[in-house]
Structure 1
Amino acid sequence: MIFTADLDRTLIFSRGRLTESPAVVPAEYRLGEPYGFMTPGALAALRQLQKKVLFLPNTMRGVEQARRVVFVGDGSCPYLAAQNGLYLLYNGELDREWSRRVAAVVHGLPLSLSDGVGRVLSDLPGIQCLSKQYEYLAVFFVEADAFDDQVCGQLAEELAGSGWSLVRQRKKLYLFPAAIDKGAVLAYVMEREGDDHTVGFGDSGFDLPMLRVCETAWSLAGCELEGGEWGFPIRFSHAPAQAGTEEVLTDLLHAL
């Protein structure tokens, strides 16, 4: 069995995303200080799951950011999918076949990432700045008061014709190749492992392609997916935030 999950606001939570109870322990450190948290019960359940199933963290974070998380950086995860599926590590090294596939997809697009970034900066009102431009992914900060969702939708349609997805999530706007996402990298790992018994856990629209591939999909009460019609069943926790994460992980562990 493969268990794949997002990190932020799914497994771990920043201080601002925590509810008042239950109590939490650090699960991530940044510059030596606690930065991401989960309940002791959730962390214990995840540690047990890591011993029983193949656990694939599947995150928007970059590789080094993901490695700050204790259950990723300690080497106990054979696989790590980063930057929305654009990078896949196996035993700490880039998976060469997946890297080759991603490069072939991106290099075959009629529009380069740099040109796409230029379109966003020139054509879309309300962009505060280009935050990061990686090899295959660009992240922008949004000025909420000046941002024009209608213009963004029109630009997204145009960019989609050239193979690029433009997606806003709160204060950030992401530009990435449409053919590569969390679902595509999960499908590759399933193919590589010869295992189609997969459980997914996520909280946002970026996780939908991953959850859609899974035999069973889980999410959290109170997240942006709750109440939506996604074309496939998603099970939701009863509790929100860190309590919901403990609930889901404990249920998964007991089901094994």
Structure 2
Amino acid sequence: MIFASDLDQTLIYSVRSKGDMALEDMVPVELYEGRHISYMTKPALDKLRQLAGMLRFVPVTTRIPEQFNRIFGIKEQLQPEYVIVSNGGTILVNGRIDQEWHHFVREAVKSHCAESSEVAGLFDRIAASHWVKSSDLCDGLFYSIAVDRDNLPLDSLEELKQQLASLGWSYSLQGRKIYLVPEKVSKGAAIQYVKEKLASTYVYAAGDSLLDESLLLAADYAVAPVHGELGRSYSSHPHIRFTSARGALASEELLDSIMEHAGR
């Protein structure tokens, strides 16, 4: 059995996103430029270690490999064999890129989705310095755009969303970032590939955003923190269970839920 989980705002939290938890009650798990920037609650880290001993733990993240590698609390302490990064566009096996998946995804994007330059051109038509802080093409596959949420041109972004759909791309707003992603790059497709590689018959999954929805739908048992984009999009869902806790405490609740079900 597999436990496939998103990381940011699902298992790990920044000071901004942690909610009511006191920082001294949390454990640092990510180091960046000499400072800790992500944390887990102590019970959540203990539960994750326990769960990783019961199931094959597969971290799943929109982060590119270099960004995942900063999360020492996951990478070094738990040493997962498979890690899905770049929103499913890249799979690492013992730290090395799975070349079969790497080539498959990029050929699928090339064949079925508009080129990234065309998407960038559409976005540039509405972009302005008072709300766009930076824009990066990640892993050669998708755009991560840092924004000022208070100044977003919502009507223009809704129109962009419709244009992207016709080009085989999707739009997601998470926190202070907009993601523009080819539809052939998905966490759900990546976990199906890993499931086959591991000859697994059952997948537990957790994630908070719309970019995690394909992962959760591909799972047999799915949990989402209520504070995330999915929780804001659905009052209820036939396949996804939502936590009652918000912030970092949601990670403890979702891990408890999965451990209880897996232990039956």
Post-superposition CA distance 1:106-132 (Å, at most 9, x none): 221463112211221024567525421
Equivalent residue for 2:41? 39
Q: Which amino acid aligns with 2:29?
A: A
- Residue 21 of structure 1: CA displacement? 3.3
Is 1:72–2:74 an aligned residue pair? yes
Equivalent residue for 2:181? 176
Point out where structure 2 has 5 or more consecutive residues left out of the alignment: none
Is 1:19–2:24 an aligned residue pair? no
Q: Conserved in 2, the CA contact under 8 Å of 1:50 and 1:76?
A: no
Equivalent residue for 2:135? 131
Q: Which moved more, 1:85-94 or 1:183-192?
A: 183-192
Note the 1:238-253 alignment, pairs <5 A. 238-253=244-259
What SS does the aligned partner of 1:17 have? coil
- Change in 2 beyond 3 A, CA 1:251/1:154: closer
Equivalent residue for 2:121? 118
In structure 1, what is the Cα distance between the partners aligned to 2:154 and 2:10?
Answer: 26
Equivalent residue for 1:8? 8
In structure 2, what is the Cα distance between the partners aligned to 1:181 and 1:52?
Answer: 26
Is 1:163–2:164 an aligned residue pair? no
What SS does the aligned partner of 2:225 have? strand
Identity %: 30
In structure 2, what is the Cα distance between the partners aligned to 1:253 and 1:144?
Answer: 36
In structure 2, what is the Cα distance between the partners aligned to 1:17 and 1:79?
Answer: 27
Equivalent residue for 1:224? 229
- Change in 2 beyond 3 A, CA 1:48/1:170: closer
- Residue 201 of structure 1: CA displacement? 0.8
> Number of paired residues?
256
Q: Which amino acid aligns with 1:140?
A: I
- Change in 2 beyond 3 A, CA 1:129/1:17: closer
Point out where structure 1 has 5 or more consecutive residues left out of the alignment: none
Post-superposition CA distance 1:42-88 (Å, at most 9, x none): 11111122222111111111111112212432161011111211111
Aligned residues: CA RMSD: 2.2
Q: Which amino acid aligns with 1:63?
A: P
In structure 2, what is the Cα distance between the partners aligned to 1:247 and 1:123?
Answer: 40
What SS does the aligned partner of 2:30 have? strand
The runs of at least 4 consecutive aligned structure 1 residues that moved more than 4 Å come to 123-127
Match of 1:197 among 202, 209, 217: 202
In structure 1, what is the Cα distance between the partners aligned to 2:109 and 2:236?
Answer: 27
In structure 1, what is the Cα distance between the partners aligned to 2:117 and 2:133?
Answer: 14
What SS does the aligned partner of 1:84 have? helix
